Structure 1
Amino acid sequence: MKETIVLGLSGGVDSAVAATLLKEQGFAVTGLYLDIGLGGTGREDAAAVADRLGIPFRVADIRADLERQVCAPFAAAYRAGRTPLPCAQCNPTVKFPALFRLAEELGGRYVSTGHYANVENGVLKKGRPANDQSYMLARLSRKQLQNMIFPLGNYEKRQVRGLAQQFGIPVADKPDSMEICFIPHGDYAAWLDERGFSTPEGDFVDKSGQVLGRHKGIHHYTLGQGRGLGVSGPHRYYVSAILPQTNQVVLSDGSDLGRGTVFGTQPNWIGVEGLDGPLEVTVRLRHSRTEGEGVLYPEGEGVRIEMSTPARAPTPGQLAVFYLGDVVAGSAWIVSSQ
């Protein structure tokens, strides 16, 4: 009897190829489309893929969970001067729990998605360098990872596109979606404004407190930002601090953005049992392939990261992910730096 697996079927090329590969591996695949109520062609495309592959297709309405676990904290973070990372928040609290609920209903153990990453014995590992998505998965728990399969972990996107053509998948040429799923137009500030979560205008100031101009509301800015500021001066300006208490955005020439020490909270340990002393790792402080060497130290209930080379603008609300080679040792939410 085939092993049941529930796959998050988004209507895109990645999950469609993942479904095909899982079928070839002998799994009984059920596709689950996660409906967030925005319409579009995703549901139709996912259903077409399921029909083409001859697999059962289900739809789960996740709007309430997404609002509670992701959208509301997203808005609160921007109002507090932080820059949230909604996908990393959604994966362990909304997306994968929905997949596991259906798997349990069907009597299956495993769930899957089209992410570019690997799992071995419950340990999260990087995918191929060109497309690695382990950063966004680093908040998943060991328990969740024990029952996950990522069939695209050893592929690059160009290879997956080729497989989609080879398999005759109907969404083989569908463009990738790069936006936050609940903000399809890509303008998060407008989304906040529409929901009544905007912040008032205030002053741009320099480090001495001298007023340089007016900002549109702190939710429009993030640390290190150098575009769209509308302030002229003797040099290009960058956001070096956001002060929600005084509704000010501090600008500088960017020379003060390097930080040697980063503090994180709510550590999630995956590839190690925990942290009881210094641990040498490489660190990603933003969603990119850039890693820096650092040493982790326990810091109260959190973690202190001492970077070998100062990192540019570590941003509160973003994720620090720790690697031991290809293994994700763990992660923590960035709260401050110095």
Structure 2
Amino acid sequence: MGKRVLAAMSGGVDSSVSAALLKQQGYEVIGAMMRFWPDNKKDDCFETCCSPDAAYEARRVADIIGIPFYLLDYREEFQEKIIDPFIAGYQQGETPNPCVNCNTRVKFDSLLKKARMLGCDYVATGHYVINRDGGLYRGDPKKDQTYFLWGTPKEAIPHMLFPVGHLEKPQVRALAEQFGLPTAKKPESQNICFVQGDLKDFLAQHLSARPGPLIDLETGQQIGEHNGAQFYTVGQKKGLGLWKSHLERYVVQVNTTTNEVIVGPREACMWGGLEIREVNLLVEAQDLPERLEVQVRYRTRPVPARVEAMEAGRMVIRLAEPQFAVTPGQSAVLYQGERLLGGGFITRALYNQFQPRALTAS
């Protein structure tokens, strides 16, 4: 085969097995880990997938496989492209997902450029995604990660490899055992990599937040006080401090301009549509099917939908059935069956049928 691949290695089992499989298949493999953790913080300031210990594990794996390994410095870029927008999103009342930006703006943008500088034909990762026929498709239903790759530049797809995309997690761990890799039993990281401990504590260090009113959607009256609108997200039920009330309330809207958090019954969090920005399509716009599916959160099922309007990187989508907690800052991802079509960041939710005290369009 003889083609050169830059294998992104996180120190976890998925990327370790990906690199080993590529070597086994005859590729010339170069292992690389992207350094995100800063010098001025403790070693444990990043999750296990991005820590100095993880770099040590990745280097051990590379030695066992017999490939070169490099630690690439992306500290400034990660701060600029991932952490700063994450904080800014919360400051504006959104609930951002940094993994989408990391894949779009770092792994399949900056890292792909680095791969080309090193004479590599491909970048490989441990994502559970299938690349075939010029498109990206869902991998193992229990681990599928296409949701996080909607922002991938279309021109990058031919240069992306996902060696474990067609496998299930137990199969990957079994292969790691066969290869004799020390990451075979390493637990998965579920948290945001640069947030240690409680997210609210992290945000409190970076946001300008102050107490304000909790407003009941049905009456327009203040029924409580929040400790900073930026700390709340649409659909949230816990932590509202309304335990004395006999009414069940959820966060319906977060307004950081007025510093108000609007709460209401669960049906007020059900939305029949949404608007998205920074739309990225992996097919030509004219090839979008009339009926497609939209997934508004990771681990929620996609629902049938249609595109009502599209212009200048924005799109309005009507959902076939209302969805709970359509949240600004999260991703709405477009599919046709198993194929990933693209997506965008949710700007606002639309078409709420809750009437007692009419909601605005957003």
Q: Quick check: TM above 0.5?
A: yes
What is the aligned counterpart of 1:61 among 66, 73, 97?
A: 73
Distance in 2, matches of 1:120 and 1:107, equals 23
Map 1:221-300 → 2, pairs under 5 A: 221-232=232-243, 233-270=245-282, 272-275=283-286, 279-300=290-311
> How far is the alpha carbon of 1:286 from its aligned partner?
0.5
Partner of 1:202: 212
Distance in 1, matches of 2:78 and 2:134, equals 25
Counterpart contact for 1:319–1:332, Cα < 8 Å: yes
* 3-state SS of 1:93 partner: helix
* 3-state SS of 2:105 partner: helix
What is the aligned counterpart of 1:190 among 189, 193, 201?
A: 201
* 3-state SS of 1:87 partner: helix
Amino acid at match of 1:220: F
* 3-state SS of 2:7 partner: strand
Amino acid at match of 1:215: H
* 3-state SS of 1:296 partner: strand
Map 1:38-187 → 2, pairs under 5 A: 39=43, 40=51, 41-185=53-197, 187=198
Which has the higher mean CA deviation after the structures are superposed, 123-132 or 11-20?
Answer: 123-132
Partner of 2:329: 317
The answer on 1:308 being equivalent to 2:320 is: yes
Counterpart contact for 2:203–2:231, Cα < 8 Å: no
Distance in 2, matches of 1:106 and 1:47, equals 19
Identity across aligned pairs (percent)? 37
Amino acid at match of 1:54: G
Distance in 2, matches of 1:121 and 1:300, equals 28
Partner of 1:37: 37
Distance verdict in 2 for CA 1:142–1:121, change over 3 Å: farther
Structure 1, residues 22-55: CA drift from partner, whole Å, max 9, x if none? 1111111111111111634111111111111111
Root-mean-square deviation (CA, aligned residues, Å) is: 1.6
Distance verdict in 2 for CA 1:237–1:112, change over 3 Å: same
Distance in 2, matches of 1:98 and 1:172, equals 29
Partner of 1:213: 224
Distance in 1, matches of 2:9 and 2:227, equals 39
Poorly superposed stretches of 4+, deviation over 6 Å: none
* 3-state SS of 2:327 partner: coil
* 3-state SS of 1:256 partner: helix
Counterpart contact for 1:82–1:222, Cα < 8 Å: yes
* 3-state SS of 1:146 partner: helix
TM-score by length of structure 2 reads: 0.89
* 3-state SS of 2:31 partner: strand
Gaps of 5+ in 1: none
> How far is the alpha carbon of 1:289 from its aligned partner?
4.4
Amino acid at match of 1:201: P
Structure 1, residues 163-222: CA drift from partner, whole Å, max 9, x if none? 11122111111110111111133x22211222x324111111101331111112122111
Which has the higher mean CA deviation after the structures are superposed, 158-167 or 53-62?
Answer: 158-167
Structure 1, residues 113-149: CA drift from partner, whole Å, max 9, x if none? 0000011243111112111000001110111112001
Partner of 1:21: 21
Structure 1, residues 256-287: CA drift from partner, whole Å, max 9, x if none? 111112111121110x2015887211110011
Distance in 2, matches of 1:240 and 1:68, equals 30
Distance verdict in 2 for CA 1:97–1:276, change over 3 Å: closer
